[in-house]
A and B are shown apart, each in its own frame.
Chain A
Amino acid sequence: MSAQTDDLVKQDEPEPDEPAEGLAALGAYIRDYFARVRGGELGSIPALVGLVVITGVFALVHQGFLSAYNLEALVIQAAPIIVMAMGLVFVLLLGEIDLSAGTTGGLCSAITAVLILRQGASWWLALIVGLVTGLVIGFAMGWLRARVGIPSFVITLATFLAFQGVTLILIGGQGSVILPDNSPLIKLENSFVPLWLGWVLLAVVVVGYAATKVNDELGRRRSGISRAPFTVIAAKVVILAVLGAAFTYEMGVNRNLSTNAFFNNKAQGMPWVVVLLLILFTVWNFVLSRTRYGLHLYAVGGNEEASRRAGIVVSRIRISVFVICSGMAAVSGIIAASLLQSVQSNAGAGNTLLLAVGAAVIGGTSLFGGHGRIIDAVLGGLVVAVIINGMSDLIQGANSAGYEWVVTGAVLLLAAGFDAVVRRSRTT
């Protein structure tokens, strides 16, 4: 053991800081990257590979899987999963779990819907009440975890059941509350960004990404630290631009087949929820990767005792992640309501939570705490949506729902097993 580590020390010669330009620098960067991958820092690789492979398989066995029509279905199906998974990343970063995220979302959307329909509240007021309910729920659960010391698994299992009951009581015997046709809440998932605005958005995203990366790198070079060669940055920007353009173009295709001289309401452009996803991604990604708060989340997830000794108020951090998670669950519930144009009495129950946890874990967030990013929720959410969407075409008949549950469970277990194996490779 010690002989081994002594060797390690001798190998580690200091490297002089060279300017990161030219082929040598690129080679060094790539070697460094693979060294990190071998060391267990897989990043988004498994999720990306999974996404490409699964999409490829479904595209082969099922004509039209990548059609504009199905792509839209994929996006609006993935949206509520992705948003809930984004919230779960925060909780998982601390090695906690929120089993009630699904039913919290269901409850919040039920409150919003009932306020609009039965109390005649305006949609935005109802929306705010729904979202604030989510935050309050999160605070209460976080407080029970951090101050009272009940394991999060137990707290959220209790609220998972209780909120399901409250939603059932709120919605009542009819089984569902249908949102009014003209409600802006429905537009989120069912109406589309004008084509020109779609392209403008793409330009903003690509230019924003490029500017951030270049600015970071220039700052590093000014400080005499340099890591990423500009060729790598350029490659990333080009990939983002090409994928984004392909998506924007495909979403620009009219999907309303019954358009004719009399019915001219075209279905073209990306769903508005894509804009919401972009905003949420940007905000949370910024928080996690560039703020002191974000860093402290990782620190507490990695070593709670070290964080405490460093003066971090661990209980406050712990409460905050539950607030964020439940708040995001409420947003997710609203998106799901928009998708269904109604709130069911079993909203957010069933496999809603499992899909979101599965998304985060498939994306690369660890169930053991300390490792996770917002991009994980996005990529993992897409993988899950592709699996569900593809399966619903493949498996048909009376038992199809049963098979879907089995496959969902198997995928989650597989992702968790992968996470555990990777974790072991990290610590040794």
Chain B
Amino acid sequence: MTSVPTLELRGVDKSFGPVHVLSSVNLTAKAGEVTALVGDNGAGKTTLVKCIGGIYRVDAGELIFDGTPRTVNGPRDAALLGVEIVYQDLALADNLDIVQNMFLGREEITRVRTLDENSMEKLARQALDSLSVRTVRSVRQHVASLSGGQRQTVAIAKSVLWQSKVVILDEPTAALGVAQTGQVLDLVRRLAEQGVAVILVSHNMNDVMKVADSIGVLFLGRMAAQVRRKDVTQTQVVELITAGRSGDLGLSPEESSGAAV
């Protein structure tokens, strides 16, 4: 692995008052790969995602983009660095259509400063096509009328539109049925194939083992291990999630005893 990772976290700490949520977390995400981020409820996955997205400021540690350490002081900084986050709650406006949602906050404007609806519609269509999305009938549909999978699709396609370098998906399949989960996972793969560094937060071991190239396991706010998908079995990953260690992998017995924080 000679290439420089698109995103690298080194020793990230984050606490809310007295609560240490993350302690010296390391993680790398490479272009063209799906990096899964797993961990039990409350392990700190969402918090880590929000640190990358600039929602929270890290207390200590480095965020390194393409080999250069950067400070991320807000969502704008993160967006400028090419980070796009698809949150658990999706954050789509139900009363707007697909195009309007995909361009929200970054609308195209004509020379006379009116909305350039036509070019936005065209670009939105292209973004969906590039992901081979077939489930959306009209890009002028209101988002309220979409199914869960379709909404997820719209949220993910947004990142293609903005040519994001790092796309973080927080539990994209949590609320979906079998067929739709399959569709979204395909989408995740195609996104990575376009050269994006995808970080997939998930509880679902099947999903993770199916699409991930690399797996980072958070245990009580520590990175128990980041392993290549092909080097581990599902049982080992589950052990890392529940106990923080599995054989040689993971935290030392003292660290994983739970007294870590």
Q: Tell me the chain A residues, 1-60 only, with Cβ under 8 Å from chain B.
A: 1-3, 5-6, 8-9, 12-15, 39-41
Interface residue tally on B, bucketed by range: 35 or more
Residue among B91, B100, B105, B140 with most chain A CB within 10 A:
B105
Chain A proximity mask over B91-135: 1 for CB below 8 Å, otherwise 0: 111111000110011110100011100110110010000000011
Contact in complex: B75, A311 (CB < 8 Å): yes
Looking at the assembled complex, report how far the CB atom of A38 sits from the nearest CB atom of chain B, in whole angstroms: 10
Query: Whole-angstrom distance between the alpha carbons of A219 and B79 in the complex?
Result: 31
Contact of A9 among B79, B114, B122, B149 (CB under 8 A): B149
In the complex, which residues of chain B have a beta carbon less than 8 angstroms from the beta carbon of A2? Answer: 148, 176-178, 180
With A14-B137, A311-B105 as contacts: A291 and B113 at CB distance below 8 Å: yes
Give bound CA distance, A303 to B100, whole Å: 13
Q: Which of A8, A219, A307 has the most CB of B within 10 A?
A: A8
Contact at B93–A303, with CB atoms within 8 Å? yes
Interface: B142 (CB within 8 A): yes
Say yes or no: A12 contacts B137, CB within 8 Å.
yes
Residues of chain B within 8 A of A14, CB atoms compared: 134, 136-137
State whether the Cβ of B144 lies closer than 8 Å to any Cβ in chain A: yes
Interface band, chain A: 35 or more
User: A225 vs B97: C-alpha distance in the bound complex, in angstroms?
Assistant: 15
A324, chain B: closest CB distance, angstroms: 18
Complex Cα distance A311/B84, Å? Answer: 13
Please report the C-alpha to C-alpha distance between residue A302 and residue B135 in the assembled complex, in whole angstroms.
Answer: 24
CA distance A39 to B183 in the complex (A): 25
Among residues of A, the one whose C-beta sits closest to the C-beta of B90 is A306
Cα distance, A328 to B106, chains bound together (Å): 30
Contacts of A310 in B (CB 8 A): 91, 104-106
By beta carbon, the residue of chain B nearest A427 is B144
Q: Which residues of B contact A227 (CB under 8 A)?
A: 140
B228 within 8 A of A: no
Known A9-B183, A220-B118, A223-B119; contact A306-B91, beta-carbon cutoff 8 A: yes
Which A residues lie within 8 Å of B148 (CB)?
A: 2, 5
CB pair B93–A12 under 8 Å, yes or no, is: no
Which of A73-81, A137-145, A186-194, A292-300 participates in binding chain B?
A292-300
B108–chain A nearest beta-carbon distance, Å:
10
How far, in whole Å, are A189 and B52 apart by their CA atoms in the complex?
Answer: 60
Contact of B95 among A3, A8, A223, A370 (CB under 8 A): A370
> Given A9-B179, A310-B104, is A303 in contact with B92 using a C-beta cutoff of 8 Å?
yes
- Judge whether A371 is part of the interface by a CB distance below 8 angstroms: yes
Q: Say yes or no: B94 contacts A427, CB within 8 Å.
A: yes
Quick one: given A8-B147, A9-B147, A311-B76, are A306 and B177 in contact (CB under 8 Å)?
A: no
Q: Of A291, A370, A427, which is within 8 A of B93 by CB?
A: A370
CB-CB under 8 A for A223 and B122, given A291-B115, A295-B115: yes
Give the chain A neighbours of B113 by CB distance below 8 A. Answer: 291-292
- Say yes or no: A299-B118 contact (C-beta < 8 A), given A306-B92, A309-B91, A427-B94: no
Structural contact, B107 and A295, CB atoms closer than 8 A: yes
Given A6, A224, A370, which contacts B179 in the complex, CB threshold below 8 Å? A6
Instruction: Decide if B145 is an interface residue (CB 8 Å cutoff).
Output: yes
Residues of A close to B73: CB separation below 8 A:
none
- List, in ascending order, chain B residues with CB within 8 A of A162's CB: none
Q: Which residue of B lies closest to A368 (CB)?
A: B95
Interface check B246, CB cutoff 8 A = no
Count chain A CB atoms within 10 A of each CB in B95, B101, B107, B179 and give the residue with the most.
Answer: B95
Chain B residues positioned under 8 Å from A299 (CB to CB): 93, 96, 100, 104
Q: Does A426 count as interface, using CB distance less than 8 angstroms? A: yes
Known: A223-B121, A295-B115, A427-B144. A312 touches B180 (CB 8 A): no
Residue A269 is within 8 A (CB to CB) of chain B in the complex? no
B79–A311 CB distance below 8 A: yes
The answer to whether B150 and A9 touch across the interface, beta carbons within 8 angstroms, is yes
A302 to B142, CA, bound (A): 11
Asked, given contacts A5-B177, A9-B150, whether A305 binds B137 with beta carbons under 8 Å apart, the answer is no
For B145, the chain A residues whose CB sits under 8 A away are 39
Give CA–CA (A222, B117) in the complex, Å: 12
Specify the chain A residue showing the minimal Cβ separation from B74: A311
A118 within 8 A of B: no
Which A residues touch B79, using CB under 8 A? Answer: 311
Of A41, A291, A298, A303, chain B has the most CB atoms within 10 Å of the CB of: A303
Asked whether, in the complex, the Cβ of A298 is within 8 Å of the Cβ of B93, the reply is yes
With A5-B149, A303-B94, A371-B95 as known contacts, state yes or no: A41 contacts B142, CB within 8 Å: yes
Complex: how many Å from CA A39 to CA B107? Answer: 26
CB distance from B117 to the nearest CB of A (A): 8
Chain B positions 171 through 189: 1 when the CB is less than 8 Å from some CB of chain A, otherwise 0: 0000011111001000000
CA distance A295 to B114 in the complex (A): 11
**A225 and B75 contact, CB distance less than 8 A:** no
With both chains docked as a complex, state the minimum distance between the C-beta of B71 and any C-beta of chain A, in angstroms: 18
Q: Does A348 contact B (CB under 8 A)?
A: no
Question: Once bound together, how far apart are the Cα atoms of A227 and B138, in whole Å?
Answer: 11
A292 touches B122 (CB 8 A): no
Name 28 A/B residue pairs within 8 A (Cβ), A-sorted. Answer: A1-B177, A2-B148, A3-B177, A5-B147, A8-B147, A9-B147, A9-B150, A9-B179, A12-B134, A12-B135, A39-B142, A39-B145, A220-B118, A223-B118, A225-B118, A292-B107, A295-B104, A295-B115, A299-B93, A302-B93, A303-B93, A306-B91, A306-B104, A309-B91, A311-B76, A311-B79, A370-B93, A370-B94
The 7 closest A-B pairs by CB, nearest first: A2-B177, A310-B105, A302-B93, A5-B147, A302-B95, A306-B91, A223-B118
Residues in chain B within 8 A of chain A (CB atoms): 75-76, 79, 87, 89, 91-96, 100-101, 104-107, 109, 113-115, 118-119, 121-122, 125, 134-138, 140, 142, 144-145, 147-150, 176-180, 183
